[in-house]
Structure 1
Amino acid sequence: MVTAVKRLSLSKEQMSLLLGCGVRFFLSAALTGSTVAGGYQPFALGFAAAAGTGAAGGAALAGCLVGAALFLEFADALRFLAAAVLIFAAATAFDGTRPARSPLFTPLLSVFLFLCVHFIYLFQSFRFWDNLFPCLAAAVLTGVSARLYTLLLRQEGNRQLTLLYVSVTLLTSVAGLALPGGISPGRAAVCCLLLYTAYQQGMGIGAAAGICTGLAMDLCSGADTLFYAAAYGLSGLLAGLRSRCGRGSAAGLSALAALLLSAIWQDTPSLLAETLLGCTVFLFLPGKLFSGKRVQEKEDVTLLDRLRLQLKESSAALRDLYDSFSRNSAPTENPAIIFDRAAESTCRGCALCDLCWQKEYTSTFNAMNDATPFLLERGRALPKDFPPHFSSRCIHFPELLTSINGELSAFLLRRQYRLQMEETRRSAQGQYAQLSDLLASTASHLGQAAPAFGAAPSWRVGAVLSPKEGESVSGDSISSFETSQGRFCMLLSDGMGTGEAARRESSMTLRLMERFLKAGIDPEAALKTLNSALSLRSSDTGSFTTIDLFILEGDQGAVYKYGAAPSYVKRGGRVQRITGGCLPAGLHSQPAPPDSSHFPLEDGCFVVQISDGVADAGHDEWLLNLLAGFPGSDPQLLANAIVAQVRKQGQMSDDCAVQVLYLSSAGEKKEV
């Protein structure tokens, strides 16, 4: 199964490499057809420079060769291919070096090599000064193209502008093809792309993109004027000016710009028709292409929605980090390495080395294998751990025994270190899992209104804390409160031991839990997070606490427990015991959810929380009888009766805590 997965992954990588090479081959071949004034191909050379080295660069170089054969005369193809080969060779030579990591290295290198090749031809011409400006302009275009194509291939920068540049440079190769009436489909497509960019990016970028696009078109057409630079620059400026309005307004202003320029330059009748064709295509583009700020404004994404999304993404990132710990468990070290290293240092120069490790290899192996359990149990090797036939045959047995003990000590230290690291790793893994759950819970409840439970019953609470005999302070802590989400909560925590130290632990636990719940965090996520934090704390202090949480939402009750004593629900003369099997908070080495129970409640119900100093699930018959026979409706009287019965039975050998909730449809909410 593992082998099949690896083959599938390798096949996808090969397919991705072939696809990338194919794209570079066809783009470089197509860009070769874009020729600017002077007969230069700066766009193809810039793309070859951006393609880099290796198979991708080789594919781009092959595309240049095919494009030169299809589009260029022999002399032009020769100087073009000479520059392309030099750029590829130089990129390969500098690959991996520190200068090559600079973002300006590739553009400057391509400009330098372009000038090196073409200046040779320039000096041989009879019109040096006339051809100098077109050569310099083509060199600059080569460097700019190398930079922009690099951003596109690496998926960096403003992808919309880089895609516009690639599209325009590709369309310049077919700009000379015209329909009847002199209309060029390539220039019409350029008008559509420019209008789309200006509408999405605004007035400034629209004007700049229009001017650059027009300059490229003027250079490729060989015109003596900057007609297209002026026309496209004005069109981008006006279209970007109306980017906050509908597409029709932007298209209308673009057509107006073409109309004005056509009136000024009388000999360019095709500009208006090409612009109108481009505007028509722009108006029929699907709305999903306009994924920038305009669509976001219509979606009315609120700050709360963005915050919820950010919390969910953070939760997913922490969950992935948690999963990565599970995939990368440290391998265990084989104890055989002890003997391997000891034999390497002791037996290599021994005269009996061939006898022990070749002729009698099985006997030697069994002797050391039989001694391994004694070594690991005792932490030290003794002569009696090895059989007499081996110890009597070994002429360097004392030295071998010393070497084995040294390697054994190092092995045990490494194992102890790995165990400590594994414990730290599990602890960190649990923390990441709890943080992920906490963020996910917060995100799911963010901005949600409190659920409507109908007419919630009123409640009254009674409570008693009684310390152990001989102590002045109870180690148990209780708390009851109502959250802004409409939940009523009762908490009881029993700290390890008795007295002031136990009280500090239990009260700290309740204080942290209360803050979590009042912040609107889901109870189970809050408990798991607190349990993980207490696990780290218990590794230093050795202490732990129980947590008993009851939550009332409308007429539904829920109980969550970490090592807590039973809780009881009294409905008339019937009593339900609710227990749990989880360890107390702080004793879990792995993330563990609390025990939980959910049940409906009605008027006249009692919910009773106790600590283990009152009773446990094996000795609570007296408490079940007391609850079943209690006739009143005062929770404080019931709590007092329970503690009084504990004293009567002489069981005050531990701290006692009792908290009682009574539900009623009438009366005010009251905590005692």
Structure 2
Amino acid sequence: MKKSAGKQMITIAGGVLACSMQMMGCYPLAPAYFAAAFLEGVSGVWLTAAMYIGMLYFMPLTATVKYAMALLVTAGAIKLVEWANEGCPAFLAAILTAITTMILSFCGGLLEWKDQPEVLAVFLEGIFVFGAVILLNRGIHFFMEWQGRGNRIEQEPVDRGKEERLSGYAESFQGLSQIFMNMSKKKEQYTAEELGQMQNELTGRLCANCDCCAICWEQESTPLYGILSNMITSILNVGTPAKESEEELSHYCKHSKDMVEEAVRVFEKASLNRAWYNRLLENRQTIAEQLDAMAYIMKDCAKEEKLLDTQEKKALAEIRYRAKESGIVIEEMHLYENQEGRLRLTAGLRSKMGGCVSVKSFLAAVSHALGKDIRAAADCRSFISKERTDFLFYEDTKYRSVQGIARLKKDGAQISGDNFSFLELERGDLLLGLSDGMGSGSAACKESEMVLDLVERFLEAGFSVETAIRMMNSAMVMKGESDLYSTVDLCMVNLYDGAADFYKIGAAGSFIRHGQEVTSFAPNSLPVGVGTNPEIEHKKITLKNGDFVVMVTDGVLEYLHVPNPEETMQEIIESINTNHPGILAKKILERVLLFTGGKVSDDMTILATCIWEK
């Protein structure tokens, strides 16, 4: 951020006044004020010229010579330190200024300059200069960073109408979704009207061209209505006409055999039409769910993050002060707070002297100023260069995670049909995923890989886990060309508070180890891709420091050959004494192979994760 010319002029004018303060024959405020203002980036030429004028006006000639040399030496020393370290901390500049002033005072005494201070005064002057540089530098910094009311409004990069617009879009999408949903009510049974249409189509095809049509249908008491109705009902219930209806029909119609065959054909045609109609309704329902998901995202985006630039202006000024000492220039910076109270910082940074400065230096400055640990976004650069780069920082999480995996493919198979996923999201959530494709081999592998890939993409786009699962299932249903299905086993861990949400569709049980106690979660649902409304089994628990989560595919549990495989797996996990997730997963797999006699009858995958406090 460029400093205003008015503030620069006020700071330079303050340098003239600093030359007028005398203590015990010394003028310690002059070098101290110069070093503090020079560190802050006030124009060196104008500052030096103004202070020379002040020294000539307020100081005797010998003092003017001494402090004029002190200013030049101090400026050179600070520049040299900045060139070597990309920045000069205030305490180091204070030491350099104090030493320079003391040396020149001693040298002046040795050369018998007139009006030189005593030895005690020289030491006291050095101590005063040291403290004054630190205090004045901080004071000048906060003065230069102070924002008036008008400037504050200009800094807020907020579109006031965005929330209303997005909320309006979300309501529109939800309304459209409701329309599609109302159109998507499946026909599970034939109505009386539809059965009547089948009967009319049947008689219209055969009876219209028959010579006996008038005899059969013009009689008021003809039994054909009842016979055909019973035959169609029989076809509806069991798929074939009842023999009684066929025999009874043969007494009244000479084309009874053709009539039965045509009835079966008409019903098959009606069943096919209904299947396609229901398929169309499923697609409508899929579109409705996707519109609902879009509405959810828009509502989430409409929840405006709170801009904290005004409330935290002191903290932001402290960040600038500490970043400046590390040789970092902050051209633009904004602090936000999300709905959960987590902080997010955006900053446009460059190095002061044109070299490279580690981002860790800036993170240390931010963490100290905000009183919270801060982390850089995953795709941020590691160094700050001379060209401006925009960085994104988040409040750091309380927990970190370590994962381990152990897997075996089915005997005789070239590739495993199981796939797994570890994904740490920027918002501080960790996704653990397992998917078991039905069967084994490359087809099952591609299916399970697609399932996890879709879930990851939707979560990275900002969708909730439930919405991501439903949209992924919609895509799998619409794809469904090979009748291949996959299980979904997800665990979303909030690394801020340890809350873990398990989501399972057709997956095997999961296990949580806390100390030596192991609990399990064993669901029972169909895989994804079977229907448009998957049954998502959900369970929420809270993990603590050192807790393990063990997720397995069904190939691990099914071949234990015990009455209750979940209890057996709990005993296996309890018997293994290790804090390493990779070792835990491998030892579990080794114990499982003891139950199977070393045979791998299905793909086996074990995913173990542990969370630790940072």
Name the TM-score, length of structure 1 as normaliser: 0.48
Task: Please identify, of 371-380 and 507-516, the stretch whose mean Cα deviation from structure 2 is larger.
Answer: 371-380
Counterpart check, 1:491 vs 2:433: yes
**What is the deviation of 1:497?**
1.2
Q: Which aligned pairs between 1:220-619 and structure 2 lie closer than 5 A? A: 301-302=159-160, 304-305=162-163, 308-326=166-184, 332=191, 333-341=193-201, 343=203, 346=207, 353=214, 358=219, 360-361=221-222, 363-373=223-233, 385-387=245-247, 391-392=250-251, 394=252, 397-399=253-255, 402=258, 405-406=261-262, 408-445=264-301, 447-448=304-305, 449=338, 451-452=340-341, 456-538=398-480, 540-553=481-494, 554=496, 555-588=498-531, 590-616=532-558, 618-619=564-565
**What is the deviation of 1:611?**
0.7
Q: Which amino acid aligns with 2:519?
A: Q
Other structure's SS at 2:279 match:
helix
Q: In 1, distance between residues paired with 2:537 and 2:557?
A: 19
Counterpart check, 1:653 vs 2:594: no
Q: In 1, distance between residues paired with 2:534 and 2:418?
A: 23
Q: In 2, distance between residues paired with 1:511 and 1:305?
A: 31
**What is the deviation of 1:618?**
3.5
- Could you tell me whether the CA contact under 8 Å between 2:572 and 2:591 is conserved in 1? no
- Could you tell me whether the CA contact under 8 Å between 1:498 and 1:654 is conserved in 2? yes
Other structure's SS at 1:609 match:
strand
In structure 1, stretches of 5+ residues that fail to align are: 1-299, 667-672
Judging changes above 3 Å, is the alpha-carbon distance between structure 1 residues 561 and 318 closer, same or farther for their aligned structure 2 residues? farther
Q: Which amino acid aligns with 1:634?
A: H
Judging changes above 3 Å, is the alpha-carbon distance between structure 1 residues 614 and 400 closer, same or farther for their aligned structure 2 residues? closer
What residue number does 1:37 align with? none
Q: Which amino acid aligns with 2:160?
A: T
Judging changes above 3 Å, is the alpha-carbon distance between structure 1 residues 559 and 438 closer, same or farther for their aligned structure 2 residues? farther
Q: In 2, distance between residues paired with 1:523 and 1:355?
A: 64
Q: By percentage of residues, which structure has more strand?
A: 2
- Could you tell me whether the CA contact under 8 Å between 1:450 and 1:485 is conserved in 2? no
**What is the deviation of 1:632?**
2.2
Judging changes above 3 Å, is the alpha-carbon distance between structure 1 residues 367 and 641 closer, same or farther for their aligned structure 2 residues? same
- Could you tell me whether the CA contact under 8 Å between 1:551 and 1:559 is conserved in 2? yes
Aligned residues: 362
Judging changes above 3 Å, is the alpha-carbon distance between structure 1 residues 360 and 569 closer, same or farther for their aligned structure 2 residues? same
Question: What is the CA deviation profile of residues 244-269 of structure 1, one whole-angstrom value per residue up to 9, with x for unaligned ones?
Answer: xxxxxxxxxxxxxxxxxxxxxxxxxx
**What is the deviation of 1:304?**
3.9
Counterpart check, 1:665 vs 2:613: yes
- Could you tell me whether the CA contact under 8 Å between 1:314 and 1:436 is conserved in 2? no
Q: In 1, distance between residues paired with 2:164 and 2:613?
A: 41
Judging changes above 3 Å, is the alpha-carbon distance between structure 1 residues 581 and 381 closer, same or farther for their aligned structure 2 residues? closer
Judging changes above 3 Å, is the alpha-carbon distance between structure 1 residues 383 and 572 closer, same or farther for their aligned structure 2 residues? closer
Question: What is the CA deviation profile of residues 376-427 of structure 1, one whole-angstrom value per residue up to 9, with x for unaligned ones?
Answer: 5787879973455x644x4xx2246535644652343133212221122123
- Could you tell me whether the CA contact under 8 Å between 1:494 and 1:611 is conserved in 2? yes
Other structure's SS at 1:620 match:
helix
Q: In 1, distance between residues paired with 2:242 and 2:505?
A: 48
Q: Which amino acid aligns with 1:664?
A: W
Q: In 2, distance between residues paired with 1:378 and 1:615?
A: 39
Q: In 1, distance between residues paired with 2:210 and 2:454?
A: 66
Identical amino acids, percent of aligned pairs: 22
**What is the deviation of 1:465?**
2.3
Q: Which amino acid aligns with 1:500?
A: S
What residue number does 2:587 align with? 641
Q: By percentage of residues, which structure has more helix?
A: 1
- Could you tell me whether the CA contact under 8 Å between 2:289 and 2:470 is conserved in 1? no
Q: In 1, distance between residues paired with 2:231 and 2:414?
A: 58
In structure 2, stretches of 5+ residues that fail to align are: 1-157, 306-337, 343-395
Judging changes above 3 Å, is the alpha-carbon distance between structure 1 residues 391 and 358 closer, same or farther for their aligned structure 2 residues? same
Judging changes above 3 Å, is the alpha-carbon distance between structure 1 residues 573 and 329 closer, same or farther for their aligned structure 2 residues? same
Q: In 2, distance between residues paired with 1:615 and 1:424?
A: 38
- Could you tell me whether the CA contact under 8 Å between 1:438 and 1:525 is conserved in 2? no
Greater RCO (Cα-Cα under 8 Å, separation 6 or more): 2
Question: What is the CA deviation profile of residues 295-316 of structure 1, one whole-angstrom value per residue up to 9, with x for unaligned ones?
Answer: xxxxx85364255225413431
- Could you tell me whether the CA contact under 8 Å between 2:512 and 2:547 is conserved in 1? yes
Judging changes above 3 Å, is the alpha-carbon distance between structure 1 residues 365 and 640 closer, same or farther for their aligned structure 2 residues? same
Question: What is the CA deviation profile of residues 424-465 of structure 1, one whole-angstrom value per residue up to 9, with x for unaligned ones?
Answer: 212321331233134314532555427347961222111122
- Could you tell me whether the CA contact under 8 Å between 2:186 and 2:281 is conserved in 1? no
Judging changes above 3 Å, is the alpha-carbon distance between structure 1 residues 337 and 569 closer, same or farther for their aligned structure 2 residues? same
Q: In 2, distance between residues paired with 1:470 and 1:564?
A: 24
- Could you tell me whether the CA contact under 8 Å between 2:180 and 2:288 is conserved in 1? yes
Q: In 2, distance between residues paired with 1:512 and 1:632?
A: 34
Question: What is the CA deviation profile of residues 85-120 of structure 1, one whole-angstrom value per residue up to 9, with x for unaligned ones?
Answer: xxxxxxxxxxxxxxxxxxxxxxxxxxxxxxxxxxxx
Question: What is the CA deviation profile of residues 178-216 of structure 1, one whole-angstrom value per residue up to 9, with x for unaligned ones?
Answer: xxxxxxxxxxxxxxxxxxxxxxxxxxxxxxxxxxxxxxx
Aligned with residue 630 of structure 1, among 576, 580, 594: 576
Q: Which amino acid aligns with 1:360?
A: S
**What is the deviation of 1:365?**
3.7
What residue number does 1:97 align with? none
**What is the deviation of 1:564?**
1.0
**What is the deviation of 1:634?**
0.9
Name the TM-score, length of structure 2 as normaliser: 0.53
- Could you tell me whether the CA contact under 8 Å between 1:462 and 1:661 is conserved in 2? yes
Question: What is the CA deviation profile of residues 128-160 of structure 1, one whole-angstrom value per residue up to 9, with x for unaligned ones?
Answer: xxxxxxxxxxxxxxxxxxxxxxxxxxxxxxxxx
Q: In 1, distance between residues paired with 2:198 and 2:291?
A: 42
Q: Which amino acid aligns with 1:482?
A: E
What residue number does 1:153 align with? none
Q: Which aligned pairs between 1:130-141 and structure 2 lie closer than 5 A? A: none
**What is the deviation of 1:543?**
0.7
Across the aligned residues of Structure 1 and Structure 2, the Cα RMSD in angstroms comes to 3.4
Q: Which amino acid aligns with 2:340?
A: P
Question: What is the CA deviation profile of residues 285-341 of structure 1, one whole-angstrom value per residue up to 9, with x for unaligned ones?
Answer: xxxxxxxxxxxxxxx853642552254134313322233314696974543445445
Q: In 2, distance between residues paired with 1:378 and 1:595?
A: 35
What residue number does 1:94 align with? none
Other structure's SS at 1:615 match:
helix
Q: Which aligned pairs between 1:25-174 and structure 2 lie closer than 5 A? A: none
Q: In 2, distance between residues paired with 1:495 and 1:557?
A: 25
Question: What is the CA deviation profile of residues 213-254 of structure 1, one whole-angstrom value per residue up to 9, with x for unaligned ones?
Answer: xxxxxxxxxxxxxxxxxxxxxxxxxxxxxxxxxxxxxxxxxx
**What is the deviation of 1:646?**
1.9
What residue number does 2:130 align with? none
**What is the deviation of 1:595?**
1.1
Other structure's SS at 1:614 match:
helix
**What is the deviation of 1:571?**
0.8
Other structure's SS at 2:490 match:
strand
